[in-house]
Amino acid sequence: MLTNANSIFIGCSGFCRQFSDHTEVTVAGLQKRIGWTKSNNIQRLSWLAKMVITKVISEEQYKQLIGAAGVSLVLFSAEWAEQCKQISDVMNELAKQEEFKAVQFLDVPAEDFAQVSLRHQIDSVPTVLFFRAGTAIDRIDGVDVGSLTQKAKKYASAPAPASSTGGSANLEERLKSLINRSKVMIFMKGDRNTPRCGFSKQLIAITNDTGVEYDTFDILTDEEVRQGLKTFSNWPTYPQVYVNGELIGGLDIIKELLEGGELKETLNP
Protein backbone atom coordinates (compact mmCIF):
# COMPACT_ATOMS: atom_id res chain seq x y z
CA MET A 1 0.00 0.00 0.00
CA LEU A 2 1.41 3.38 -1.02
CA THR A 3 1.09 5.78 1.91
CA ASN A 4 3.03 8.83 0.74
CA ALA A 5 5.73 9.91 -1.66
CA ASN A 6 8.61 8.91 0.59
CA SER A 7 7.45 5.70 2.25
CA ILE A 8 6.25 2.41 0.79
CA PHE A 9 4.78 -0.42 2.83
CA ILE A 10 4.79 -3.85 1.27
CA GLY A 11 2.50 -6.47 2.85
CA CYS A 12 3.80 -10.00 2.78
CA SER A 13 1.65 -12.66 4.49
CA GLY A 14 0.65 -10.34 7.29
CA PHE A 15 4.06 -8.76 7.78
CA CYS A 16 5.39 -5.38 6.68
CA ARG A 17 8.74 -4.09 5.66
CA GLN A 18 9.22 -0.37 5.37
CA PHE A 19 11.53 1.27 2.86
CA SER A 20 11.99 5.00 3.38
CA ASP A 21 14.30 7.74 2.16
CA HIS A 22 16.20 7.31 5.45
CA THR A 23 17.24 3.72 4.70
CA GLU A 24 19.73 2.18 2.32
CA VAL A 25 16.91 1.38 -0.12
CA THR A 26 15.40 4.64 -1.37
CA VAL A 27 12.04 4.97 -3.02
CA ALA A 28 13.67 6.20 -6.21
CA GLY A 29 16.04 3.24 -6.24
CA LEU A 30 13.22 0.82 -5.52
CA GLN A 31 11.09 2.31 -8.28
CA LYS A 32 13.95 2.02 -10.75
CA ARG A 33 14.69 -1.56 -9.69
CA ILE A 34 11.14 -2.81 -10.26
CA GLY A 35 10.43 -0.74 -13.37
CA TRP A 36 8.03 1.72 -11.71
CA THR A 37 5.38 3.45 -13.80
CA LYS A 38 2.17 5.16 -12.77
CA SER A 39 0.13 2.55 -14.57
CA ASN A 40 1.73 -0.49 -12.99
CA ASN A 41 2.74 0.64 -9.51
CA ILE A 42 0.13 -1.35 -7.61
CA GLN A 43 0.74 -4.46 -9.68
CA ARG A 44 4.50 -4.22 -9.21
CA LEU A 45 4.24 -3.72 -5.48
CA SER A 46 2.06 -6.81 -5.17
CA TRP A 47 4.49 -8.81 -7.28
CA LEU A 48 7.48 -7.60 -5.29
CA ALA A 49 5.87 -8.94 -2.13
CA LYS A 50 5.75 -12.34 -3.83
CA MET A 51 9.44 -12.19 -4.74
CA VAL A 52 10.57 -13.23 -1.28
CA ILE A 53 10.15 -16.40 0.69
CA THR A 54 8.04 -15.88 3.80
CA LYS A 55 10.00 -16.84 6.90
CA VAL A 56 7.65 -18.71 9.24
CA ILE A 57 7.95 -17.54 12.85
CA SER A 58 5.15 -19.43 14.61
CA GLU A 59 3.27 -22.71 14.24
CA GLU A 60 -0.03 -20.85 14.10
CA GLN A 61 1.22 -18.77 11.18
CA TYR A 62 2.46 -21.94 9.50
CA LYS A 63 -0.95 -23.61 9.77
CA GLN A 64 -2.72 -20.55 8.39
CA LEU A 65 -0.37 -20.21 5.44
CA ILE A 66 -0.36 -23.83 4.29
CA GLY A 67 -4.13 -23.92 4.76
CA ALA A 68 -4.56 -21.41 1.95
CA ALA A 69 -6.56 -22.59 -1.05
CA GLY A 70 -3.62 -22.46 -3.44
CA VAL A 71 -0.30 -24.27 -3.66
CA SER A 72 2.47 -23.74 -1.11
CA LEU A 73 6.13 -24.72 -1.40
CA VAL A 74 7.62 -25.10 2.07
CA LEU A 75 11.37 -25.29 2.58
CA PHE A 76 12.48 -26.89 5.84
CA SER A 77 15.93 -25.43 6.39
CA ALA A 78 18.78 -24.73 8.79
CA GLU A 79 21.10 -21.74 8.72
CA TRP A 80 24.19 -23.92 9.05
CA ALA A 81 23.35 -25.98 5.95
CA GLU A 82 24.76 -24.33 2.83
CA GLN A 83 22.56 -26.54 0.63
CA CYS A 84 19.50 -24.80 2.05
CA LYS A 85 20.65 -21.47 0.64
CA GLN A 86 20.92 -23.09 -2.78
CA ILE A 87 17.30 -24.24 -2.64
CA SER A 88 16.20 -20.90 -1.18
CA ASP A 89 17.83 -19.07 -4.10
CA VAL A 90 16.03 -21.32 -6.59
CA MET A 91 12.69 -20.72 -4.87
CA ASN A 92 13.27 -16.97 -4.94
CA GLU A 93 13.90 -17.15 -8.68
CA LEU A 94 10.74 -19.19 -9.20
CA ALA A 95 8.74 -16.66 -7.19
CA LYS A 96 9.72 -13.94 -9.66
CA GLN A 97 8.17 -15.78 -12.60
CA GLU A 98 4.65 -15.03 -13.77
CA GLU A 99 3.59 -18.68 -13.84
CA PHE A 100 4.15 -18.95 -10.07
CA LYS A 101 2.28 -15.81 -9.07
CA ALA A 102 -0.44 -17.88 -7.34
CA VAL A 103 2.08 -20.00 -5.42
CA GLN A 104 3.36 -19.04 -1.97
CA PHE A 105 6.90 -19.88 -0.91
CA LEU A 106 7.65 -20.50 2.77
CA ASP A 107 10.79 -21.16 4.80
CA VAL A 108 10.49 -23.12 8.07
CA PRO A 109 13.56 -23.36 10.35
CA ALA A 110 13.40 -27.10 11.00
CA GLU A 111 15.16 -27.06 14.37
CA ASP A 112 12.95 -24.26 15.70
CA PHE A 113 9.79 -26.16 14.75
CA ALA A 114 10.62 -29.61 16.09
CA GLN A 115 7.00 -30.82 16.32
CA VAL A 116 6.16 -29.67 12.81
CA SER A 117 9.33 -31.31 11.49
CA LEU A 118 8.52 -34.55 13.34
CA ARG A 119 4.96 -34.52 12.01
CA HIS A 120 6.24 -34.32 8.45
CA GLN A 121 9.12 -36.76 9.07
CA ILE A 122 11.80 -34.21 8.22
CA ASP A 123 14.97 -36.26 8.62
CA SER A 124 17.38 -33.89 6.93
CA VAL A 125 17.62 -30.43 5.41
CA PRO A 126 16.89 -29.14 2.92
CA THR A 127 13.49 -30.77 2.47
CA VAL A 128 10.73 -29.16 0.41
CA LEU A 129 7.08 -30.05 0.94
CA PHE A 130 4.32 -29.17 -1.51
CA PHE A 131 0.89 -28.37 -0.07
CA ARG A 132 -2.52 -27.69 -1.56
CA ALA A 133 -5.19 -26.39 0.84
CA GLY A 134 -3.32 -27.73 3.85
CA THR A 135 -2.73 -31.21 2.43
CA ALA A 136 0.78 -32.41 1.63
CA ILE A 137 0.85 -33.59 -1.98
CA ASP A 138 4.55 -34.12 -2.66
CA ARG A 139 8.05 -33.64 -1.29
CA ILE A 140 11.71 -33.46 -2.24
CA ASP A 141 14.39 -34.59 0.20
CA GLY A 142 17.81 -33.06 -0.37
CA VAL A 143 19.11 -30.86 -3.17
CA ASP A 144 17.40 -31.62 -6.47
CA VAL A 145 16.95 -28.38 -8.38
CA GLY A 146 15.60 -30.12 -11.46
CA SER A 147 12.83 -31.91 -9.56
CA LEU A 148 12.03 -28.76 -7.59
CA THR A 149 11.48 -26.74 -10.74
CA GLN A 150 9.60 -29.54 -12.49
CA LYS A 151 7.24 -30.20 -9.60
CA ALA A 152 6.68 -26.51 -8.93
CA LYS A 153 5.55 -26.08 -12.54
CA LYS A 154 3.39 -29.19 -12.33
CA TYR A 155 1.46 -28.08 -9.26
CA ALA A 156 1.31 -24.40 -10.18
CA SER A 157 -0.50 -25.26 -13.41
CA ALA A 158 -2.60 -28.17 -12.15
CA PRO A 159 -6.21 -27.39 -11.17
CA ALA A 160 -7.29 -28.22 -7.64
CA PRO A 161 -9.18 -31.52 -7.25
CA ALA A 162 -12.90 -31.03 -7.94
CA SER A 163 -14.07 -33.14 -5.02
CA SER A 164 -12.29 -34.18 -1.86
CA THR A 165 -14.60 -37.20 -1.59
CA GLY A 166 -13.76 -38.30 -5.11
CA GLY A 167 -10.07 -37.69 -4.47
CA SER A 168 -10.15 -39.83 -1.32
CA ALA A 169 -11.89 -42.65 -3.17
CA ASN A 170 -9.34 -42.54 -5.97
CA LEU A 171 -6.45 -42.58 -3.49
CA GLU A 172 -7.91 -45.55 -1.65
CA GLU A 173 -8.18 -47.52 -4.88
CA ARG A 174 -4.61 -46.61 -5.75
CA LEU A 175 -3.35 -47.70 -2.35
CA LYS A 176 -5.14 -51.04 -2.65
CA SER A 177 -3.56 -51.54 -6.06
CA LEU A 178 -0.08 -50.74 -4.76
CA ILE A 179 -0.42 -52.96 -1.69
CA ASN A 180 -1.38 -55.89 -3.93
CA ARG A 181 1.24 -55.20 -6.62
CA SER A 182 3.35 -58.04 -5.25
CA LYS A 183 2.74 -60.91 -2.86
CA VAL A 184 5.21 -59.23 -0.49
CA MET A 185 5.17 -55.44 -0.76
CA ILE A 186 7.43 -53.08 1.18
CA PHE A 187 6.78 -49.33 1.44
CA MET A 188 10.03 -47.63 2.39
CA LYS A 189 12.34 -44.68 1.93
CA GLY A 190 14.26 -45.49 -1.23
CA ASP A 191 14.10 -48.88 -2.94
CA ARG A 192 15.61 -52.33 -2.48
CA ASN A 193 18.82 -51.28 -4.22
CA THR A 194 19.22 -47.87 -2.55
CA PRO A 195 17.56 -47.69 0.89
CA ARG A 196 17.50 -44.09 2.09
CA CYS A 197 17.20 -44.53 5.85
CA GLY A 198 18.63 -46.87 8.45
CA PHE A 199 15.34 -48.62 9.20
CA SER A 200 14.69 -49.34 5.52
CA LYS A 201 18.25 -50.59 5.06
CA GLN A 202 17.89 -53.02 7.98
CA LEU A 203 14.56 -54.28 6.70
CA ILE A 204 15.88 -54.95 3.20
CA ALA A 205 18.88 -56.84 4.59
CA ILE A 206 16.62 -59.05 6.73
CA THR A 207 14.17 -59.67 3.88
CA ASN A 208 16.94 -60.50 1.42
CA ASP A 209 18.26 -63.15 3.80
CA THR A 210 14.92 -64.99 3.65
CA GLY A 211 15.18 -65.44 -0.12
CA VAL A 212 11.53 -64.46 -0.51
CA GLU A 213 10.58 -62.46 -3.61
CA TYR A 214 9.25 -58.98 -2.92
CA ASP A 215 8.69 -55.55 -4.44
CA THR A 216 9.21 -52.07 -2.98
CA PHE A 217 7.64 -48.64 -3.29
CA ASP A 218 9.66 -45.49 -2.56
CA ILE A 219 7.41 -43.26 -0.44
CA LEU A 220 9.78 -40.32 -0.98
CA THR A 221 8.57 -40.12 -4.58
CA ASP A 222 4.88 -39.71 -3.75
CA GLU A 223 3.73 -37.69 -0.74
CA GLU A 224 0.08 -38.54 -1.35
CA VAL A 225 0.80 -42.24 -0.96
CA ARG A 226 3.15 -41.59 1.95
CA GLN A 227 0.51 -39.76 3.97
CA GLY A 228 -2.50 -41.70 2.71
CA LEU A 229 -1.14 -45.12 3.59
CA LYS A 230 -0.65 -44.09 7.22
CA THR A 231 -4.38 -43.45 7.53
CA PHE A 232 -5.45 -46.33 5.30
CA SER A 233 -3.55 -48.92 7.36
CA ASN A 234 -3.62 -47.06 10.68
CA TRP A 235 0.17 -47.38 10.91
CA PRO A 236 2.02 -44.06 11.36
CA THR A 237 5.60 -44.99 10.51
CA TYR A 238 7.72 -46.49 7.73
CA PRO A 239 8.85 -48.93 6.49
CA GLN A 240 5.68 -51.03 6.20
CA VAL A 241 5.49 -54.65 5.06
CA TYR A 242 2.41 -56.21 3.41
CA VAL A 243 1.77 -59.85 2.52
CA ASN A 244 -1.12 -60.70 0.21
CA GLY A 245 -2.51 -57.21 0.74
CA GLU A 246 -2.45 -57.42 4.55
CA LEU A 247 -0.25 -55.27 6.77
CA ILE A 248 2.32 -57.29 8.74
CA GLY A 249 3.99 -54.31 10.38
CA GLY A 250 7.23 -52.37 10.47
CA LEU A 251 10.85 -53.18 11.25
CA ASP A 252 10.20 -54.06 14.91
CA ILE A 253 7.55 -56.63 13.98
CA ILE A 254 9.79 -58.14 11.32
CA LYS A 255 12.62 -58.44 13.86
CA GLU A 256 10.29 -60.15 16.34
CA LEU A 257 9.18 -62.63 13.67
CA LEU A 258 12.83 -63.27 12.77
CA GLU A 259 13.81 -63.92 16.38
CA GLY A 260 10.84 -66.25 16.79
CA GLY A 261 11.72 -68.20 13.65
CA GLU A 262 8.43 -67.24 11.99
CA LEU A 263 9.55 -64.66 9.45
CA LYS A 264 9.99 -66.79 6.33
CA GLU A 265 6.70 -68.58 6.94
CA THR A 266 4.95 -65.22 7.42
CA LEU A 267 6.38 -63.74 4.23
CA ASN A 268 5.76 -66.91 2.23
CA PRO A 269 2.60 -68.53 3.65
Over pLDDT 90: what percentage of the chain? 54
Looking at the fold, whether 219 and 191 belong to one and the same domain comes out as yes
pLDDT at 80: 95
The burial of 4, by beta-carbon neighbours within 10 Å (0-12 exposed, 13-18 middle, 19 or more buried), is given as exposed
Give the CATH number of the domain where residue 256 resides: 3.40.30.10
Domain identity same for 187 and 121: no
Instruction: For 142-189, write each residue's pLDDT tens digit.
Output: 999 999 999 999 988 876 554 444 556 688 888 999 999 999 999 999
pLDDT at 46: 43
**pLDDT, position 68:** 74
- The answer on 64 and 41 residing in a single domain is no
Return the higher-pLDDT residue of 159 and 26.
159
Provide the pLDDT for residue 107: 96
Q: Please indicate, yes or no, whether residues 59 and 44 belong to a single structural domain of this protein.
A: no
pLDDT in tens, 232-265: 999 989 999 999 999 999 999 999 999 999 999 9
Q: What is the pTM of this model?
A: 0.51
Q: What is the pLDDT of residue 132?
A: 85
Q: How many domains does the chain have?
A: 3
In this structure, the answer to whether residues 186 and 140 fall within a common structural domain is: no
The Cα–Cα gap between 6 and 167 comes to 50
Q: Quick one: three-class SS letters along the chain?
A: CEEECCEEEEEECCEEEEEECCCCCCHHHHHHHCCCCCCCHHHHHHHHHHCCCEECCCHHHHHHHHCCCCEEEEEEECCCCHHHHHHHHHHHHHHCCHHHCCCEEEEEECCCCHHHHHHCCCCCCCEEEEEECCEEEEEEECCCHHHHHHHHHHHHHCCCCCCHHHHHHHHHHHHHHHHCCCCEEEEECECCCCECCHHHHHHHHHHHHHCCCCEEEEHHHCHHHHHHHHHHHCCCCCCEEEECCEEEECHHHHHHHHHCCCHHHHHCC
The predicted pLDDT at position 161 comes to 54
- Stretch among 147-151, 185-189, 212-216, 217-221 having the lowest mean pLDDT: 217-221
The pLDDT score that the predictor gives to residue 116 is 92
Model confidence at 135, pLDDT cuts 50, 70, 90, reads confident
- Count how many Cα atoms sit within 13 Å of the Cα of residue 195 in the half-sphere of its side chain: 19
- Shared domain check, 254 and 182: yes
- pLDDT bin (cut points 50, 70, 90) of residue 50 is very low
Which is higher by pLDDT, 223 or 49?
223
State mean pLDDT over 32-47: 44
* pLDDT the model gives residue 167: 58
Same domain, 121 and 211: no
pLDDT at 22 over 50: no
> Rounded mean pLDDT of the chain?
80
Residue 17's pLDDT band, with cuts at 50, 70 and 90, is very low
Same domain, yes or no, for 125 and 94? yes
Give the per-residue pLDDT at 109.
97
Look up the domain containing 37 and give its range: 2-50
In this predicted structure, the answer to whether residue 87 has a pLDDT above a threshold of 60 is: yes
